[in-house]
Chains A and B, each alone.
Chain A
Amino acid sequence: MIPLPLTAPPGVVTADVLASDLGCFPTLEEYVPLVRSFKDDGFEMCVDLCAVDYLEHLDRPLPEGVSATRFEIVVNLLSLSKKQRVRIRVQAGNEEPRLDTLFDLYPGTEAMEREAFDLFGVLFSGHPDLTRILMPEDWEGHPLRKDYAVGKVPVQFKEAPGPR
């Protein structure tokens, strides 16, 4: 178990027994400062950032004091020197989730945040280029959301001309 970063507010950090990673549950305001304190603490790399849509599990068990929301952003940090991982789970909100970008701390989150935006519609304030990355530009909806109608929308690409 690594020592907690000094600036981490009490109560946001719990140990994840299953994965033997450290799990953190900051609020939207605590999120970027917490990541910054981890970075100062020797977590050199942001390995992964992804979103989860908990539409069907809004009452899932979370540590005390954390209110579950529909969208969750999961950030995996890695410390090469300590050989330790930490997982940060942010409750991003129910409608129009928006959080601050990690781009200034870890430039490598650029593509991952774009992916989260593309597939889940999570917005990142301060991201340099928040456009769709995997889906076509004019795609409607965010396919990995649980209420996205799979198989019900006719697939159509941009302004496809009719038969010539």
Chain B
Amino acid sequence: MSDPTIRVAERVDLLAAETSEGAQGLQPRKKTTTDELGREVGAVLRQSGLTLDPNDVDFERRDDETMIINMGPAHPSTHGVLRLMLELDGEFVLRTKPVIGYLHTGMEKTGEVLSYVQGGTNVTRMDYVSPIANELGYSMAVEKLLGIEVPTRAIWIRMMMSELNRVASHLVWLATNGMDLGATSMMIYGFRERELILAFFEKTAGLRMNLNYVRPGGVAADLPDGWEDDVLVICDTIYERTFEYDELLTGQPIFRGRMIGVAPITAEEALALGVTGPLLRSTGVPWDLRRSMPYLAYNEVEFDVIVGTFGDNFDRYAIRLNEIRESLRIVRQCIEKMPSGDYRSQDPKVTPPPRARIDESMEALIHHFKLFTEGFQVPAGEVYSAIESPRGELGCYLVADGGPKPYRIHVRAPSFVNMQAVPLLMRGGSVSDAITVISSVDPIMGEVDR
């Protein structure tokens, strides 16, 4: 490749061409339109002129005063392969542009060639920190199209598992957030507690992550014997330890200094950007689909929707920490109220015959074979079903054409939309705040890129 006859200057040009960023990256101000520039400086409510500072869109600003740098995609604090292009003035961030797609594996396309039975294994890999939420959103969409009822026990198992998953997901967030701020011990504690939940998942579903546990029609397996004791131990242990986190983080002057007042967002801006989850609730909007548009049996359990006031990093931290406690409260009620009965629908259309029947009945064998090779047919139609994942509204838009495979499967990933708030949150902060911003938005790149 390196031809010695090419002069150094030409080689530099060649290198620049090969590694050029093109239109996806952050361009110098002179090459950027006002609209785009406004977007990059984080002006959301541009049409009303509320947040657009004329100084920010100064085209005359000389480019040699500022510096455009890359953060990521292999930066340890970007939680995956997120790449941010930052325009810096010294230590301060002027413009930000997230560049995504490094983990794009075409899961929506893959979903079109997998049958409805196999679909769960696909969606569960999107948000790999809270797989149950993905499976639930997908399964509920399929069930809506099929028009089948899910047994009560399955509903309660789903609810308990998704709340446990929410705890596990928030624990990972606490761990990595602590790590980003230099609280390395929090990293160890967060993962230690999450391990309890993953061990229970393994006992129940056979896998720690990417469970494919929630399936159209119910769940894959009943809860194991003695599950009440296991779950109670999880609840007691983690509940007690949330107070240790309080001691470790909440009251710490360094932690508070880096979280309080950093990266604020208003309710108006959050709604305009479509962000959901803890990010929206931190601005004081009490919007939680579990309460506002109840699904499963969330209207039969008691829990509080945690909201913040200032919309800053600290509010988002406090919301997630307290949501762990609220989720554990729901899990405790699930233990008390868990009904008996089937753990999956007895509709022979979606549920395979029991293992014992396959040995004695030819029809059962054929039925089992057909279900796992061809899959079941879903009547034509389109449906959007949404649930509250740990990161916000996770929607599944499904178009069926009457065949055994979805015609189109689209997942409305909360991280993908929440990512749009990053330029706004970054604006005017320093580079060290940038790290806490990424952390507090809590993007899961598998879900952003799908």
Contacts and interface: CB of A to CB of B under 8 A. Distances in A.
Interface of A: 18-19, 21, 44-48, 50, 52-53, 56-57, 60, 74, 76, 80, 83, 85, 87, 103-104, 106-112, 115, 119, 128-129, 131-138, 143-144, 150, 158-159, 161-162, 164
Interface string B259-294: 000000000000111111000000001010000110
B414 to A, nearest CB: 10
Contacts of A21: 384
Contacts of B2: 164
Interface of B: 1-2, 17-18, 22-24, 33, 35-36, 38-39, 44-47, 100-101, 104, 106, 108-109, 144-145, 271-276, 285, 287, 292-293, 380-386, 393, 395, 397, 399, 401, 407-408, 410, 412, 416-417, 419-420, 449-450
Nearest to A50: B410
A99 B276 CA distance: 26
Contact of A18 (B45, B383, B393): B383
Contacts of A119: 108
Identify the interface centre among B39, B100, B101, B285: most chain A CB within 10 Å of its CB: B101
A117 to B, nearest CB: 12
Contacts of A136: 101
B1 A48 contact: no
A19 B144 CA distance: 8
Contacts of B44: 107
Nearest to B275: A108
A115 B107 CA distance: 14
Contacts of A87: 384
Contacts of A134: 100-101, 104, 449-450
A18 B272 contact: no
Top 8 A-B residue pairs of the complex, sorted by shortest distance between their CB atoms? A108-B274, A128-B35, A108-B273, A48-B412, A134-B101, A134-B104, A128-B36, A50-B410
Contacts of B272: 106-108
A150 B108 CA distance: 13
B22 A112 contact: no
A115 B417 CA distance: 11
